[in-house]
Structure 1
């Protein structure tokens, strides 16, 4: 079994379930732009990918309307959306165990870094992470490939085989593949088994306990 040293975690759908906050903030933005979507379940597709990708893909917004929608989304998200969120069970204990075993933990999210930092602090799990890397508020460094590469560049003393990326959507796995590191797809989040398997992750797990088995098992040769 590979012995990983630096573990990258996606945030939304991997560490926490952000459904209410994200979907209601998208709903708010759409409403302000005269689009009524009463069913927040239909907005789950916004969980994970960068907002500029989702608004363009699902509502056919051009660059100007996408930027306007993101600004409206953030109005509500900053005020309350980021806290309409809950940690998946056993995540805090997993992070504590990994930290105690001297793994280096990093957050790799498409969410703006400033929001990710506040969310991790709100849940009191920021203490477990050495680095938190997200997108910039101006929309740059939004793709998971760019985010992972930025992290790899910060840890040049490590080889690629030391890293593993954990996430619930294809973007996480594609980012890992593009940068040459291993990955774990988690199906307890918002990506289906089909979505994840088509992206060719190193592993797929359906629970936090299975995730722990792989990560802690990586210490055993």
Structure 2
């Protein structure tokens, strides 16, 4: 059990939200746009390849995936992804992990301060806040777009003085563990999410199911 925690920072996609069902069609729509405009070669992407990009902010994702794209193209394909994910969520294809709402309610009732911290955009953050009623649980909600797409560890460095120690960050990707490590706060890695091999090795704890938080916090 991690003792004396007051503040919990939660990643969203792959931590609370099983988002691959909404991200795959969005990714494919954006990639097809690149193909149709002779900016990429036609190919079929495996789901395992696509989920690698979940958790990156917009700037880092496109810098690594297609570093030669012009800025206006990046804005176009990013909007395609965001709009399609929104459509898929509103159509009922996205969902929180089983037990997620209950664990968030449990933590809130134990007087933890819960803070949403995602590498998503503002539109997506507001959409999921409304769709999943996240304001019932989270004191504050932040996304990378509100901080000009700087790395998550830098965002956390700016935010942590607003909240009480001890703190923990919970997430499924290296961005989350790096954020905690570089800010000297506890880390819990979510193996059930979209982590790649070895990404969570530096976590203080690793969980295979979100319901394990009942016994850790």
The question of a shared fold, defined as TM-score above 0.5 by the shorter chain, is answered with: yes
Q: Secondary structure at the match of 1:38?
A: coil
Higher relative contact order at CA 8 Å, sep ≥6: structure 1 or structure 2? 2
Tell me whether 65-74 or 101-110 shows the greater mean CA deviation: 65-74
Deviation at 1:101? Answer: 0.8
1:140 corresponding residue in structure 2: 148
Alpha-carbon offset, residue 40 of structure 1 = 4.9
Q: Which residue of the partner structure matches residue 11 of structure 2?
A: 10
Q: 1:99 aligns with which of 102, 108, 111?
A: 108
> Normalising to structure 2: TM-score of the pair?
0.86
Tell me the distance in 1 between the aligned counterparts of 2:180 and 2:191: 17
- How many residues align structurally? 208
Larger displacement relative to structure 2 (188-197 or 90-99)? 188-197
Structure 1 runs of 4+ off > 4 angstroms? Answer: none
Which residue of the partner structure matches residue 218 of structure 1? none
Kindly indicate whether the alpha-carbon contact (under 8 Å) linking 2:187 and 2:204 is maintained by their aligned counterparts in 1.
yes
Given the alignment, which residue of 37, 43, 52 partners 1:45? Answer: 52
Match of 1:59 in 2: 66
Alignment of 1:1-221 (within 5 A): 1-34=2-35, 35=40, 36-41=42-47, 42-62=49-69, 64=71, 65-80=73-88, 84-136=93-145, 140-155=148-163, 158-159=164-165, 162-192=166-196, 194-197=198-201, 200-215=202-217
Counterpart-to-counterpart distance in 1, 2:208 and 2:145: 31
| Distance in 2 of aligned mates of 1:183 and 1:80 | 31
Gaps of 5+ in 2: none
Distance 2:76 2:134 in 1: 32
CA deviation profile, 1:12-36 (whole Å, cap 9, x unmatched): 0000111122221121111111144
Q: What runs of 5+ residues in structure 1 fail to find an aligned partner?
A: 216-221
What TM-score comes out, normalization by structure 1 length? Answer: 0.84
Answer whether contact 2:59 2:149 (CA < 8 A) is retained.
no
- 1:219 maps to which residue? none
Query: What is the CA–CA distance in structure 1 between the aligned matches of 2:77 and 2:34, rounded to whole Å?
Result: 8
Cα separation, 2, equivalents of 1:187 and 1:142: 25
Q: For residues 85 and 37 of structure 1, what CA distance do their matches in structure 2 show?
A: 25
What is the RMSD computed on CA atoms of the aligned residues? 2.1
